Structure formats: C-alpha cells, structure tokens
Amino acid sequence: ETGVTQTPRHLVMGMTNKKSLKCEQHLGHNAMYWYKQSAKKPLELMFVYSLEERVENNSVPSRFSPECPNSSHLFLHLHTLQPEDSALYLCASSQDWASGSTYNEQFFGPGTRLTVL
Amino acid sequence: KQEVTQIPAALSVPEGENLVLNCSFTDSAIYNLQWFRQDPGKGLTSLLLIQSSQREQTSGRLNASLDKSSGRSTLYIAASQPGDSATYLCAVKDGANNLFFGTGTRLTVIP
C-alpha cells in the first residue's frame, strides 16, 4: 500500500455519461497528480495540483475536469468521453510540488481502469 | 521535449538469472531518475530513485545506475525470481518538476 487510494477501480461508461474518479491520499502531501496510461504509450501527465491550486494542465480536452477540494482529495470529472479515452487513470501525490526540487518522490495509487463504449 | 526509451520492450529469463534493463533519455538536464514496478492493471511502485548527483542506488537485489552525461540508466536485478515478473518503468524528472516516463520493459521470470 502506498497511502494513495483510488475509486472506483474499474469503470465502464457510455459516451454520454457523466462520471467521476476519486483519489485520496493519507500521506499528508501537498501535491496531487492525474496521469493517463494508454496501451503501449508512456504515462501522460494530465493535471497537477499544489496546495489545492492547479499548477499544470497539459493540453487536456475539456471533457476531463479536475477538482481538488482539499489537499487530501482529488477528483477527475468525466463528461462526453470518446472511446480513445479508455485507459488506466493513475493518481499520485508528493510532499510538495516545487520547481527544481529533487526530493519530491511521487507515490501512485492503484489506478482506475476506464472503458468508454 | 524529453524522450525516454526503454529496451528491450519485453524480456523472459529463467529463474535465478541476473538481468539488466536499460533506460535512455534525450536531455541530460535532469534532477533525478526513478525506476518503478507495475503489476498488471495496477499502479506504480517506486523501486529506486537516483538523484542527479548520484551514480547508483541499491535496494536488496536491485541496483540502479545513472550516467547523466550519456543519458543512460540501468536496472540490475540479481538472482531473479518469478515474483519479479512485472513491467518496469523508468522516469526522469526535469527542472519544471515534470516526470517523463518510458513505455516500460515487461519482464517474465520463468520458474
């Protein structure tokens, strides 16, 4: 156990559905991340939150909407997804998010396997 | 943009063998390099983290080396066991605190 939990672990949704992924970290960290892992592709960073403020948004389509109500919780709201959005969505956290820091090791959750029909 | 390459993409070895996984990156201006393990359908578990000023890190049967100038890292696994079967991912961190991942090496250790 890494101290980062994600729910649900598996999700199947239609293209017109609205769903949300949840991530919770029990490590007292200040930074949280969403990554997308598609088959045979490197992990792609989607969003970064530091102290509940979004600090990175890597050209992610607006059908993905993150929310960070507090430093322990991170959500990814999904709306009108496409079949190519099917992937493993991983959440991670680190002590801080600081440019140039060499000690901000990221701890990953188990992921949510998303299938869009 | 940093690109991380891992070869081979897949590797099968008999139990007990020593093995080496390779990772290369295009931009040597990194802050650290991390090796992760990922079991099928699961999240990532950090194995070793090497700071840019370090040459290697060891944890049990695992040894990771870093040659920043040549853009290379290796993960050495000694006396492999079936429980080592997983995908091993390499990631480098840049000055903007971004992690760039390789596509991984899928390791199978045959009993």
Say how many CA atoms lie within 13 Å of A53 toward its Cβ: 5
CA distance B57 to B49: 7
Pair A48, A55: CB distance under 8 Å: yes
Altogether, the residues listed in chain A come to a count of: 117
Contact flag A43-B89 (C-beta cutoff 8 Å): yes
Contact of B43 with chain A, judged by CB distance below 8 Å, is answered with yes
Secondary structure of residue B82 in the 3-state scheme: helix
Contact of B11 with chain A, judged by CB distance below 8 Å, is answered with no
Distance of residue A106 Cα from the nearest chain B Cα, in angstroms: 8
Task: For an interface test with B, give the residue of A30, A40, A43 to mutate (most B CBs within 10 A).
Answer: A43
Instruction: List the strands of the sheet with B72-77, edge to edge.
Output: B4-7, B19-25, B72-77, B62-67, B56-59
Summarize chain A as % helix, strand, coil (round to 5).
5, 55, 45
Does the pLDDT value for residue B37 go beyond 70? yes
Does the pLDDT value for residue A63 go beyond 70? yes
Contact of B23 with chain A, judged by CB distance below 8 Å, is answered with no
Candidate from B46, B51, B101 with C-beta closest to A43: B101
Place B42 in a pLDDT band, splitting at 50, 70 and 90.
confident
Phi, psi of B51 (to 5 degrees): -70, 160
In tens, the pLDDT along A41-55 reads: 899 999 999 888 888
What is the average pLDDT score of chain B? 94
Contact flag B46-A106 (C-beta cutoff 8 Å): yes
